[in-house]
C-alpha cells in the first residue's frame, strides 16, 4: 500500500475511533432525561453539546463536565419547558445527530438570503427606522433577531430581494443598503460607533445566530455599563478565584434558571478563549448554580485582577442580554410588504421601545415576537398596549404573559464557603482540592453508574 493511501485510511480510522458517543436514557432518572456525551477532547466541544440542547429550549437541571486529559465526558439531566422528560423522537433524533457522528457545530445558512449584521447605540424608534429603510430598498425581511443591552443594539436580519425572491446580488445595492443603515444607526451623533455590514453566507456553515449576537455585543463592549444608566435589578452573582496549586481559575455563577443559560455562559467563555476542564451545574427550584474550572488555551489561569474583573463583567452581560424586559407581544399575520415597518412605526408613535425581537416568516405567515417597554425603559401602560393592538389588529397582535423577571442575587464572594476570596486564592490548595475532588467523584458516579438524580 502506498503511504498516502495508508495515511488516508489511518485518518479515517482515527476519526471513527474518536466519534462522539451519545447515550440518551429515560430510565435512570425519575424526573429528567439523562444525556451522556463522550469523545476525544477538542476546543469548543462543550459548546457544541450545550448549543444542541439550547436549540430545543431544554432546561438543564444538572450537568457534570470533565475534559481533563485527552477525553471529554459530559452528563446532562434535562427536561422540556414543561418539566417533563424528552419523549418526542424528533428531539431525541436531533440531539443524537447534532452530537454524534457527522455532527456539525454550526448552523446551516440558506444561500438564498442576504444576512445583515447591525450594531449601534440603541434609542426609541430605532428598529422602526431600520425596517423602514429595508422596506424602502425593496428588501423582504424573512427572519431577524434583535437584542438590546446597556444602551447597545445588535441584530441579525436575513433579507431577500423582493423582485427576484432570493439574495441580493447587486453590489451597488448592497453598498447603498449598508450606507443607509449606518446613517440610521449613527443617528445625530457623527462620532458614535455604528456598524451595518453584509455577512458572508456562501459558506455551507454559518456561525450560530445566538452565538453571533453574543460576539457582536461583546465586540461593541456592552459589558461596560454606562455610568448614568439606571438598573432595575442587581447583576448576576459571578465570582472568579484562582486555585494556584492546580493552575485553575474557578468561575462561579449563581442566578435565576432559564433556558439557554448554560449556553450563554459557555459561549462567552469559549469566545474569550478559555477552556472548561471541569464543571458542575445544579438547580434548586428556580435558582441555578454553575461552577467551572478553566484555563487559557495555552494552559495558564487568569493572571491579573483586571482580567478577573473583565471575565466577571462579560459573564454578567452574557446572562443579562437574553433577559426579556417588557411586555411580550406576539404578531401572527399574513406576511406582506412593509408589515414590520408599519408595526414597529406604530410602536414608536405610541411611545413604545422594542427591547428584544424575533422575526420569522413561514409559508407566507409572519410570526413575530416583540418585547416592549415605554421610551424610558419602564413598564408600558396597559392602555397604550391596548391602543397599539387596536391599530395593528386585535386578532393578530396579542399580549402574552412574559417569563418571570430575572431576579439576580447581589454579587458575593463564594458565599457558600467559610473562607474569604483571599484565603481561597492564596491558601486555597486544600479548599480547591476538596471542590475538585467532589466534582470528579460526582462526574465518575454519573458517567455510567447513575441511578438517581439526587
- pLDDT, position 434: 43
**326 neighbors 372 (Cβ within 8 angstroms):** yes
- pLDDT, position 41: 75
Number of domains in the chain: 1
- pLDDT, position 400: 84
Question: Does 451 have pLDDT greater than 90?
Answer: no
**pLDDT tens readout for residues 280-337:** 999 998 899 999 999 998 989 999 999 999 999 999 999 999 876 789 999 999 988 8
Residue 361 domain flag: yes
Q: Among 85-99, 134-148, 201-215, whose mean pLDDT is lowest?
A: 201-215
The residue segments making up the domain with residue 173 are 111-205+324-400
**pLDDT tens readout for residues 100-128:** 754 544 544 555 789 999 999 999 999 99
- pLDDT, position 75: 94
Residue 315 domain flag: no
Question: Does 411 have pLDDT greater than 50?
Answer: no
321 φψ region: left (φ > 0), alpha (ψ -120 to 50), beta (else): alpha
Residue 194 domain flag: yes
Q: What's the whole-number mean pLDDT along residues 423-446?
A: 44
Residue 256 domain flag: no
Residue 283 domain flag: no
Q: What's the whole-number mean pLDDT along residues 155-179?
A: 90
Average predicted confidence (pLDDT) for the chain: 81
Q: Among 73-87, 149-163, 203-217, whose mean pLDDT is lowest?
A: 203-217
The percent of the chain in helix, strand and coil, each rounded to the nearest 5, is 35, 30, 35
Residues of the chain above pLDDT 90, percent: 54
Question: Does 202 have pLDDT greater than 70?
Answer: no
CA-CA distance, 212 to 103, in Å (whole number)? 19
Cα–Cα separations (whole angstroms), residue 190 to 43, 116, 376: 40, 21, 23
- What CATH number is given to the structural domain containing 144? 3.30.70.260
- pLDDT, position 219: 93
Residue 154 domain flag: yes
Residue 252 domain flag: no
Residue 362 domain flag: yes
- In 264-375, which ranges are E strands? 274-284, 287-296, 327-334, 352-362, 365-374
Amino acid at each position: 500500500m502506498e503511504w498516502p493511501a495508508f495515511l488516508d485510511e489511518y485518518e479515517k480510522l482515527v476519526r471513527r475511533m474518536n466519534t462522539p458517543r451519545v447515550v440518551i436514557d429515560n430510565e435512570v432518572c425519575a424526573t429528567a432525561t439523562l444525556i451522556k456525551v463522550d469523545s476525544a477532547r477538542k476546543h469548543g466541544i462543550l459548546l457544541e453539546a450545550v448549543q444542541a440542547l439550547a436549540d430545543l429550549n431544554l432546561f438543564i437541571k444538572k450537568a457534570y463536565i470533565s475534559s481533563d486529559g485527552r477525553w471529554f465526558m459530559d452528563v446532562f439531566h434535562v427536561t422540556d419547558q414543561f418539566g417533563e422528560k424528552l419523549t418526542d423522537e424528533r428531539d431525541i433524533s436531533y440531539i443524537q445527530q447534532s452530537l454524534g457522528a457527522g455532527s456539525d457545530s454550526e448552523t446551516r445558512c440558506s444561500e438564498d438570503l442576504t444576512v445583515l449584521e447591525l450594531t449601534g447605540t440603541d434609542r426609541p424608534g430605532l428598529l422602526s427606522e431600520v425596517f423602514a429603510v429595508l422596506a424602502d430598498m425593496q428588501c423582504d425581511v424573512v427572519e431577524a433577531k434583535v437584542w438590546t443591552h446597556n444602551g447597545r443594539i445588535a441584530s441579525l436580519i436575513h433579507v431577500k430581494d423582493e423582485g427576484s425572491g432570493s439574495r441580493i446580488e447587486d453590489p451597488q445595492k448592497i453598498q447603498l443598503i449598508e450606507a443607509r443603515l449606518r446613517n440610521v444607526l449613527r443617528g445625530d451623533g457623527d462620532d458614535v460607533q455604528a456598524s451595518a455590514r453584509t455577512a458572508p453566507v456562501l459558506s455551507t456553515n454559518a456561525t450560530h445566530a445566538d452565538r453571533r449576537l453574543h460576539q457582536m455585543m461583546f465586540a461593541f463592549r456592552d459589558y461596560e455599563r454606562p455610568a448614568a444608566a439606571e438598573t432595575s435589578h442587581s447583576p448576576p452573582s459571578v465570582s472568579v478565584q484562582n486555585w494556584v496549586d492546580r493552575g485553575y481559575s474557578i468561575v462561579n455563577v449563581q442566578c435565576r434558571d432559564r433556558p439557554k443559560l448554560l449556553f450563554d455562559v459557555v459561549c462567552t467563555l469559549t469566545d474569550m478563549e478559555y477552556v472548561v476542564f471541569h464543571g458542575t451545574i445544579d438547580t434548586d427550584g428556580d435558582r441555578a448554580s454553575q461552577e467551572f474550572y478553566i484555563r487559557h488555551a495555552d494552559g495558564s489561569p487568569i493572571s491579573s485582577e483586571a482580567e478577573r474583573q473583565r471575565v466577571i463583567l462579560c459573564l454578567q452581560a452574557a446572562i443579562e442580554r437574553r433577559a426579556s424586559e417588557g411586555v411580550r407581544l406576539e404578531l401572527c399575520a399574513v406576511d406582506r410588504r412593509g408589515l414590520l415597518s408599519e408595526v414597529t412605526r406604530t410602536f414608536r408613535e405610541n411611545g413604545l421601545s422594542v427591547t428584544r425581537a424575533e422575526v420569522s416568516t413561514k409559508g407566507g405567515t409572519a410570526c413575530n415576537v416583540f418585547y416592549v417597554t415605554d421610551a424610558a425603559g419602564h413598564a408600558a401602560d396597559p392602555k397604550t398596549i391596548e391602543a397599539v393592538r387596536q391599530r395593528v389588529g386585535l386578532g393578530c397582535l396579542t399580549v402574552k404573559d412574559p417569563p418571570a423577571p430575572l431576579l439576580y442575587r447581589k454579587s458575593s464572594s463564594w458565599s457558600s464557603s467559610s473562607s474569604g476570596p483571599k484565603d481561597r486564592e492564596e491558601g486555597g490548595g486544600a479548599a480547591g482540592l476538596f471542590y475538585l475532588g467532589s466534582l470528579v467523584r460526582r462526574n465518575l458516579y454519573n458517567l455510567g453508574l447513575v441511578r438517581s438524580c439526587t
